[in-house]
């Protein structure tokens, strides 16, 4: 009888978002054995904050184990994401601005580890989304790539020589906060090119009475928020205002891609996130054209592939499972 | 009697610029034993182009050996820079736009090697400037840094985990071609923040009659070109137009630094090049303030040092000598 290697055993990956927690039990080959879902903070919670969120995460882990039909003790480790910078050696989350009462550092890794009786490893969510895509998704086998995730904001991750780059203050990959100047205003690319930016510009256009089409869509929905669904609908109805606003955002994203390619000359750019999932290739194609047109080195530009993410909503839980395996195997992060 | 190791023997580094060639004999400790200088292309050369430039480079190498009082055969290898992308495995220069008749690829390494009877290794000039500063200058002992060299254009190099990054098409580090503006064609940072940009904006201001101070400086010199010296003089005389134009360029450079820090979170940014050498700390200090103000992660921001280059005009020849040693030692470039 041989002792089973830790790396043959399943692990659990957690994706902690602003509103929901996803957890998945993942076997050594990357198959998902069971999933569970929870709200990050229960509605009307009197005392939100990291302690309560950690409790919800632990519950999600137990739920995923149950769905996989395995006791918690059968798992080798847990990998978890957090929406903020993380010291991955200690599992300390420096802050998570989109969760209530979580401005200060919190030792999420140690807390979860005590609750679950398992080793727990934590990293930034977009880093883990990129790691998931790099190891098990669109970037499989690619040495140098960047993941860019476009949603309310723009997040990213950098993989060089097959390794996720963390940075000297654990804040590498803040690609949405690269700076641009548009119409005389200095701001980060997130301000010009995110779904949030598109929504803001569309809302303002509706307020100015410029887009009766969008106004009518919102009226029918009985909700003023401009979601990816609203953007898609407005495009389908041929709204010229939405088309122009989207084009400006695509232009910003294309220039951002050109910037990182001119700096790092990687093999691949992976585009994911809510807006990409919702609008698909018709959104990506013009972005790719704009990017290629702004590469400094023109030759072999198609060598740099600009592709859509492959794992959808599973990118972060799968990336978290990869993190857990890498840390168990003693692969020191950089 | 023991055979001397190749890495104890001196090497020769060459800096090939648009107008001049510098060569230096460098011992194993990085001391310069002898130097020589030549024009990249002789005045009025009938047939300029890479063949002639290579001939001039070989002469400069022989001159540096002579100044060091050593025969060429005593040297272990030659490292050379080229002003364009280089395939460093083969020594092929893809093109050098600021040298006459050098638009097409040329096998500079093999040609020089045949001429000199020594192994010759070639890399991009700004890469080698960064490598010099990283190994022997301001970045000694620092793992992750970027070199940014501000002159007619803006060039750069990226060192991560102590290794110079070359990229999938040998074009990493084109930091001056990161995109800054979403309007117009010329939207890269070089267009806004280089010495060339400052000169262009000052010339236009003079033409519009906005800066009598600069106009008078140019008249006295009997030369319309706005050099670093002219910029320095105009600042000394308190010209408000020059001050505003310089501030805009400093703002662009500060935003560029913030962008690369937000993306890569390195340990250090090294600023060098003609404009930095000429204007010194009074130029760098505001750039540093603007950069820090635009870091996404504010905590520990002084941990990211933004410093002046230490090697001046020797950065590239010394970097070329480091390249030669690294290649001799079989350190595979990435």
Residue A4 clears pLDDT 60, i.e. is over it: no
- For position B6, what pLDDT does the model report? 61
Statement: residue A183 has pLDDT above 90: no
- The C-alpha angle B61, B174, B291, rounded to 5 degrees, equals 115
Dist CA B102 CA B91 (whole Å): 15
**Bridge partners (DSSP) listed for residue A150:** A154
State the average pLDDT over residues B202-224.
Answer: 96
8 Å CB contact of A266 and B167:
yes
Helical segments of chain B, H only: 50-68, 108-116, 125-136, 189-193, 195-207, 212-221, 228-236, 240-264, 274-279, 281-293, 315-328
**Confidence (pLDDT) at A44:** 85
Q: What is the mean pLDDT of residues A9-14?
A: 97
Q: Which residues of B touch A297 (CB under 8 A)?
A: 85, 169, 171, 174
Q: How far apart are the first and last CA of chain B?
A: 37
Average pLDDT over residues B63-78: 98
Shortest Cα distance, chain B CAs vs residue A35, angstroms: 33
pLDDT of B185 above 70: no
N-to-C CA span, chain A: 37
List the single range of A196-200, B123-127, B178-182 with lowest mean pLDDT: B178-182
* Residues in CB range of A73: below 8 A, 6 or more apart: A117
Which has the closest alpha carbon to B120: B313, B327, B318? B327
Chain B CB contacts of A260 below 8 Å = 263
Lowest average pLDDT, out of A211-220, A234-243, A291-300, goes to A291-300
- Of the listed ranges A65-69, A161-165, B1-5, B17-21, the least confidently predicted one is B1-5
Residue A126 is predicted with a pLDDT of 96
B329 CB-near residues (< 8 Å, 6+ apart): B7
How many other CB atoms are found less than 10 A from the CB of residue B103? 14
- Position B4 pLDDT exceeds 60: no
User: DSSP string of B61-103?
Assistant: HHHHHHHHT--GGG---EEEEESS-EETTTTEE---TTSTT--
Residue B293 to chain A, least CA–CA distance (Å): 12
CA dihedral B133, B134, B136, B141 (to 10 degrees): 140
Give me the CATH topology for the region B6-132+314-328.
Nucleotidyltransferase; domain 5 (3.30.420)
What single-letter DSSP state applies at residue A332?
A: -
Label the pairing between strands A86-87 and A20-26: unpaired
Residues 6+ apart with CB under 8 A from B82: B16, B93, B96, B108, B122, B123, B124, B125
Token pair in block for residue B140: 């000694």
- What are B242-253's pLDDT values in tens digits? 999 999 999 999
**Cβ–Cβ contact B147 with A under 8 A:** no
* Contact assessment for residue B328 and residue B7, using Cβ atoms and an 8 Å cutoff: yes
Among A165, A107, A121, A109, which Cα is nearest to A11's? A121
Query: CA–CA separation, A324 vs A135, rounded Å?
Result: 13
- Judged against a pLDDT cut of 70, whether residue A2 lies above it is answered with no
Instruction: Round to whole Å and give the CA distance between A232 and A223.
Output: 16
Domains A6-132+314-328 and A140-310 share a fold: yes
B179–A266 CB contact, under 8 Å: no
Exposed/middle/buried for B308, CB within 10 Å: 0-12, 13-18, 19+?
Answer: middle
- CATH fold, domain A140-310, is Nucleotidyltransferase; domain 5 (3.30.420)
Question: What is the band of A5 on the pLDDT scale with cuts at 50, 70, 90?
Answer: low
User: Taking CB atoms and an 8 Å cut-off, how many pairs form between chains A and B?
Assistant: 142
- What is the distance between the alpha carbons of residues B37 and A310, in angstroms, rounded to a whole number? 55
Which helix (H) or strand (E) segment is A150 a member of? Answer: strand A145-150
CB contact under 8 A, B182 and A165: no
Number of residues that this document lists for chain B:
334
Number of Cα atoms under 13 Å in the Cβ half of residue B136? 23
Q: CA A115, CA B65: separation in Å to the nearest integer?
A: 69
Rounded to the nearest angstrom, the minimum Cα separation between B83 and chain A is 14
Q: Check pLDDT > 90 for residue A45.
A: no
The tokens describing B231, both together, are 């910029």
The answer to whether A120 touches A157, Cβ cutoff 8 Å, is no
- pLDDT score of A97 more than 90: no
Enter the DSSP assignment of A40. Answer: S
pLDDT one-digit tens code per residue, B15-24:
999 889 999 9
> Under CATH, what is the fold of the domain B141-309?
Nucleotidyltransferase; domain 5 (3.30.420)
Mean pLDDT (whole number) for B258-283: 96
3-state secondary structure at position B120:
strand
What's the rounded mean pLDDT across residues B149-171? 94
Q: Which of A56, A72, A76 is nearest to A16 (CA)?
A: A56
Question: Which residues does chain A have within 8 Å of residue B262's beta carbon, measured at their own beta carbons?
Answer: 171, 174-175, 177-179, 188
Boundaries of every domain in chain B = 6-132+314-328, 141-309
Spatial CA neighbour of B287 closest among B274, B270, B299: B270
């Amino acid at each position: 009888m041989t002792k089973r290697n830790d790396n043959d055993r399943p692990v659990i990956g957690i994706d902690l978002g602003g509103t929901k927690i996803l957890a998945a039990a993942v076997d050594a080959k990357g198959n998902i054995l069971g999933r569970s879902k929870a709200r990050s903070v229960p509605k009307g919670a009197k005392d939100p904050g990291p302690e309560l969120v950690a409790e919800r995460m632990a519950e999600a882990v137990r739920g995923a184990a149950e769905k996989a039909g395995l006791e918690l003790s059968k798992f080798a480790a847990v990998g978890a994401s957090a929406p903020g910078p993380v010291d991955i050696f200690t599992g300390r989350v420096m802050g998570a601005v989109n969760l209530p009462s979580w401005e200060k550092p919190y030792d999420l890794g140690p807390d979860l580890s005590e609750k679950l009786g398992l080793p727990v490893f934590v990293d930034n969510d977009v880093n883990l989304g990129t790691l998931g895509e790099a190891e098990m998704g669109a970037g499989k086998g690619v040495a140098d790539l960047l993941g860019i995730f476009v949603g309310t904001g723009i997040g990213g991750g950098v993989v060089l020589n097959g390794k996720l780059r963390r940075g000297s203050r654990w804040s590498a990959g803040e690609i949405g906060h690269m700076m641009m100047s548009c119409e005389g205003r200095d701001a980060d690319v997130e301000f010009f090119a995110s779904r949030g930016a598109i929504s803001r510009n569309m809302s303002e256009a509706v307020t100015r009475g410029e887009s009766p089409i969008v106004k009518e869509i919102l009226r029918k929905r009985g909700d003023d928020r401009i979601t990816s669904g609203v953007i898609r609908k407005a495009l389908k109805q041929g709204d010229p205002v939405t088309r122009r606003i989207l084009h400006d955002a695509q232009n910003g994203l294309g220039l951002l891609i050109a910037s990182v390619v001119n700096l790092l000359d990687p093999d691949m750019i992976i585009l994911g996130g809510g807006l990409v999932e919702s609008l698909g290739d018709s959104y990506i194609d013009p972005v790719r054209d704009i990017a290629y047109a702004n590469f400094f080195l023109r030759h072999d530009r198609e060598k740099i592939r600009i592709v859509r993410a492959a794992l959808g909503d599973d990118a972060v839980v799968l990336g978290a499972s990869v993190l857990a395996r890498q840390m168990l195997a003693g692969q020191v992060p950089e």
